[in-house]
Amino acid sequence: GRKDLPGAGGYGGDDDDDTKSLFPLDNLLSLNYYDRICPDFEKIVVTKVREWTKSDSSLGPALLRLIFHDCGVTGCDASVLLDYEGTERRSPASKTLRGFELIDDIKSEMEKSCPGKVSCADILTSASRAATVQLGGPYWPNVYGRRDSKHSYARDVEKVPSGRRDVTALLETFQSYGLNVLDLVVLSGAHTIGKASCGTIQSRLYNYNATSGSDPSIDAKYADYLQRRCRWASETVDLDPVTPAVFDNQYYINLQKHMGVLSTDQELVKDPRTAPLVKTFAEQSPQIFRQQFAVSMAKLVNVGVLTGEDRVGEIRKVCSKSNSRAY
Amino acid sequence: RDWNILSQLKGTTTTTKTSQTGVTSLKAPNLNGYCESWRVNVELNNIRDFKVVPQECVWFVQKYMTSSQYEDDVERAVDEAILYLGKTCCEKKTCDGMDAWIFDIDDTLLSTIPYHKSNGCFGGEQLNTTKFEEWQNSGKAPAVPHMVKLYHEIRERGFKIFLISSRKEYLRSATVENLIEAGYHSWSNLLLRGEDDEKKSVSQYKADLRTWLTSLGYRVWGVMGAQWNSFSGCPVPKRTFKLPNSIYYVA
């Protein structure tokens, strides 16, 4: 069951939680949800994320991508983690998603410390923030109490914005999440880190508008470089070629120099609704982008959550398997 | 950022090599080999349609185009063309005046190297058409080394010389003066691109002119140019001679 983002403030119980936070809250999600039932929750997550990213630094960006693909389908319900025939995870669009083993490891550890208490959706939410902080990005307070979906359908994945949508389609999708144009531009800024699969941009490099050349909106030197990097669809390329490992606003500066890797990235400077925001983030202090990123992420991870009040969902024992499904 | 692809290729960063004396030295990636391979494949038309020379090879292209090796390579092409001339019909019977030879102009008869030198790039930036045409209009391009000799060798054997260039029609008088100043004269026709021709690709434009020449009854024995667009399409010339140039690509 999908749930829209409620208005800020909420009502009813847990008033003390609302007053402590500057971020909009679902009334049934709580900043101190695990304080009594699993006090070490965030510590376990942070430790595991740090441990895994030490040996594979690309897992940080992968976790951010994973949370986006989860929240962007039916809401932040860990549906992307379910692994059986016909699930989101098995969809072609999810082929390049990574980070599942890390989430499973955290869940396994969590089941030892607090069996049956911590949902995979909350783990994914916490892990994506830990990854961001690890990458030098901002911290934001998370509220918890999400439940896991019992189902996952590959057909729903079409909704997640791919690297080839135009701005209008992106805005429409974001609107359906309860996010706005500012959130679209800000969350696209996650491409300050991470890599793109060459398969998503090859048509832009080699077959743009049925020609044999590259998209003319790409800087010529950069296009030449990308063409030589992207010989194979399975190759990857940095989304921010200038500072690929730093969480900064270089991404926006790149866009203004026609160095957006994905066409959805470059489109942001063409569209009059988004171009002024790109310009602002490119020209203002990186701190402005970081602060706004925290705000937008806090909104994203509250999209379409399942909570106890819904009387749906479950706390999975294993993130890749629903408790109620026979295997 | 220099867009050097080698710095990101796995296994081709610095490697350790132990010499006989046991001294460890670091071996840099073989940029010379990489760039020569790129350049050769451009000449072979295996690499096409590039807008800029790979940034890590701009220095290499400049080095080659301003080297004695380039001049030697041109001279070899000239020698092969003269050798080929010795086998054509004009040596065997009375010329009927219908034997033709086609030259391109830029980087074939006249060199653009001074333009690239003064503008600080050898393919590292996209060619600025406006500035390039201004330079062409100044009429100061020197002859490509060894080409004046070949030109007159061909002319004196009774061939009709046709100059087919992608230069625009408005550059005609500047081009004529430049050619004469560089030592060329007595061509049969100088064919430049008019407004209608600018709608075609350069390859198509040049192929159309070869078609026109053959329809008039000329036998095109050879075409000489520095870009593959001088040779592409039908009718196919009997022989083609390409001069080296990987600074830019014109389709």
How many contacts, defined by CB atoms under 8 Å, are there between A and B?
27
Distance between CA atoms of residues A241 and A250, nearest Å: 9
Residue B161, strand partner residues? B101
Residue appearing with tokens 């002024």: A276
Residue A297 has φ and ψ, to the nearest 5°, of: -65, -40
Share of chain B above pLDDT 70, in %: 84
| B19 and chain A in contact, CB less than 8 A | no
Nearest to B5 among A213, A220, A229 (CB): A229
Distance between CA atoms of residues B138 and B247, nearest Å: 21
Residue A275 has φ and ψ, to the nearest 5°, of: -55, -45
Nearest to B5 among A220, A223, A228 (CB): A228
Residue B224, strand partner residues? B103, B241
Q: A228-237, B37-46, B196-205: which range is least confident on average? A: A228-237
Mean pLDDT of chain B: 84
Nearest to A224 among B1, B8, B54 (CB): B54
- Report the sign of the C-alpha dihedral through residues A74, A79, A83, A89, in that order: positive
B82-139: pLDDT as tens digits = 988 876 655 444 567 888 999 999 999 999 999 998 887 789 888 888 989 989 999 9
Residue A321, strand partner residues? A318
Given a contact cutoff of 8 angstroms between Cβ atoms, the answer to whether A29 and A202 are in contact is: no
pLDDT of residue B23 exceeding 80, the answer is no
| A301 and chain B in contact, CB less than 8 A | no
- Find the residue in A nearest to B50 (Cα): A224
Chain A residue numbers with beta carbons less than 8 Å from the beta carbon of B3 are: 221-222, 224-225
pLDDT of residue A264 exceeding 80, the answer is yes
Between chains, do B8 and A225 touch, taking CB under 8 Å as contact? no
Contacts of A150 (CB under 8 A, 6+ apart): A312, A313, A314, A322, A323, A324, A325
How many separate helices (H) and strands (E) can be counted in chain B?
A: 8, 7
A117-151: pLDDT as tens digits = 899 999 999 999 999 998 899 999 999 999 899 88
The mean per-residue pLDDT over the stretch B43-60 comes to 88
B117-129: pLDDT as tens digits = 888 778 988 888 8
The mean per-residue pLDDT over the stretch B144-165 comes to 91
- b/e code B79-111 from CB counts within 10 Å (16+ = b): eebeeebeebebeeeeeeeebbbbbbbbbbbbb
The mean per-residue pLDDT over the stretch B19-42 comes to 67
Residue A98 neighbours by CB distance under 10 Å: 14
pLDDT, position A85: 81
pLDDT, position B8: 52
Residue B191, strand partner residues? B164
Distance between CA atoms of residues B203 and B118, nearest Å: 28
Please name the helix (run of DSSP H) or strand (run of DSSP E) that holds residue A68, with its range, or none: helix A59-71
The mean per-residue pLDDT over the stretch A31-43 comes to 90
- Find the residue in A nearest to B9 (Cα): A229
The confidence band for A297, taking pLDDT boundaries of 50, 70 and 90, is: very high
Given a contact cutoff of 8 angstroms between Cβ atoms, the answer to whether A76 and A125 are in contact is: yes
| B27 and chain A in contact, CB less than 8 A | no
Please name the helix (run of DSSP H) or strand (run of DSSP E) that holds residue B193, with its range, or none: strand B189-193
The confidence band for B12, taking pLDDT boundaries of 50, 70 and 90, is: very low
Q: Which DSSP letter does residue B198 get? A: G
pLDDT, position B24: 38
